[in-house]
Amino acid sequence: MIEALLPDHVMAVEAFTDITGEPPFPGEEDLVANAVEVRRREFVTARRCARQALAALGHPAAPIRAGARREPIWPAAVVGSITHCAGYRAAAVARRPDLAGLGIDAEPHERLPAGIEESVTVPSERAHLRQLSDHYPAVRWDRLLFSAKESVYKAWYPLTGRWLGFEDAELTFEPSAGVFRARILVDGTRRDAAPPLTEIGGRFLIGGGFVLTAASVAA
């Protein structure tokens, strides 16, 4: 499903089940040494998806280590993203000359727990969500916004090296086109010489009981 949200030059692999007893890939064991079983299975399957996606770009199987904020560390010429939730794991990668930033996220298509919406939205977004819910009541827009912000952060962080809080981006959705746009409300200076990030766009879909989002930054 996730490939429907991504440009053709992005390689994506997804899985809906885990392989019973599958061990961590050599060199990744310590990353889940103290994890509970559910978390360990998510990690192992998602990392396997990532290696399969990298193989489609010609990269040999290798450990995918984690950075300071537990983000996956990709080969130097690659951008990518990993996501997992109950019943779904996926990874997407692209060559750096083709794409500067990439983020994907999956969530169950359910309402956010009580009180969470207020902590992940700015006031204008809450009004926007109410309007969307009036017109498209079958969609859990609060969960969709949460997922989209997760995707935006995953695309943002490798380019800036800085945290992006839920309150630091203002999202709007275009339901008929299946797209969203995040207006960045903080300094978007990048690590490279490219112009600062002021907006990050993305796409979304709902299917199979999941909300899927993908955000990208052009090369």
Q: Can you tell me the mean pLDDT for 5-11?
A: 95
In this predicted structure, what is the pLDDT of residue 71? 94
Q: What is the pLDDT of residue 94?
A: 98
Type and span of the H or E element at 107:
strand 99-108
* Cα gap 130→142, rounded to integer Å: 9
pLDDT tens per residue, range 171-218? 999 999 999 999 999 999 999 889 999 999 999 999 999 999 999 999
Query: Is 142 in contact with 110 (CB distance < 8 Å)?
Result: no
What structural domains does the chain harbor? 2-99 (3.90.470.20), 105-218 (no CATH)
> Has residue 145 got a pLDDT over 90?
yes
How confident is the model over 37-53, as pLDDT tens digits?
Answer: 999 999 999 999 999 99
Identify the CA nearest to 212 among candidates 117, 133, 107: 107
DSSP string of 142-205, one letter each residue:
HHHHHHHHHHHHHHHHHHH-S---GGGEEEEEETTTTEEEEEE-S----SSSSPPP-EEEEEEE
pLDDT at 193: 85
Model confidence pLDDT, tens digit, residues 88-140: 999 999 999 999 999 999 999 999 999 899 999 999 999 999 999 999 999 99
pTM equals 0.95
| Residue-wise pLDDT tens digits, 160-172 | 999 999 999 999 9
Q: How far apart are CA 49 and CA 15, in angstroms?
A: 7
Q: How far apart are CA 171 and CA 158, in angstroms?
A: 20
